[in-house]
Chain A
């Protein structure tokens, strides 16, 4: 298992370096990202059958029982609320900057564009993106 993980990590690093050297508008860059997205979805469904912790309906309705959560776990509820507020603040400010289209209001993707303008920066960002995708696809599964 650890050997296959090592091979996968090495392949992902190679892909990130290759993708990092491509231009955003190139067909190769588009194909590479689409293949990675397709692979992540395929792995998610193949590895995840019967291994989810909670049913979707229970998961979706869970956060709304705020009073019960607060009674059971005040610090956890407060912490989760702060995360939600910070996330909404980032999304809200990004949407505001996008809507105004002003040089004084850079969007998150414009800032990101500066960070990924070099080969190394783009490759590092692709590697981080792949790691996050692999975590979402494979992480925190119930044992069979």
Chain B
């Protein structure tokens, strides 16, 4: 396994661990809190939609 792949695995493990911990703790923002925070205002919602659209175009129409 390459060094870069190991870093990705570590990042994925950290994200999964923190998602689980924050989802179980009511006083900590869980993974759903991120899109919910962006959706609070027009600016945040449009920024999130632009990122979503850009990601979709890149992943499904360009060569990933």
Contacts and interface: CB of A to CB of B under 8 A. Distances in A.
Interface of A: 19, 24-25, 29-30, 33-34, 36-37, 40-41, 44, 48, 52-56, 58-60, 73, 75-76, 78-80, 82-83, 86-87, 89-90, 93, 97, 102-106, 108-113, 116, 122, 125-126, 129, 132-133, 135-137, 139-140
Nearest to A133: B52
Contacts of B28: 75-76, 78-79
B56 A37 contact: yes
A19 B35 CA distance: 25
B48 A136 contact: yes
B11 A139 contact: no
Interface residues of B, number: 42
B49 A109 contact: no
A96 to B, nearest CB: 9
Nearest to A26: B61
A140 B8 contact: no
B16 to A, nearest CB: 11
A40 B1 CA distance: 39
A36 B60 CA distance: 12
Contact of A33 (B27, B29, B38, B56): B56
Q: Which 6 A-B pairs have the closest CB atoms?
A: A59-B41, A56-B43, A105-B4, A113-B64, A79-B28, A109-B64
Interface of B: 2-5, 7-8, 11, 14-15, 18, 22, 25, 27-29, 33-36, 38-46, 48-49, 52-53, 55-64
Nearest to B58: A109
Given A24-B63, A110-B64, A113-B64, A41 B56 contact: no
Contact of A29 (B3, B22, B60): B60
Contacts of A93: 7-8, 11
A93 B14 CA distance: 14
Nearest to A138: B39
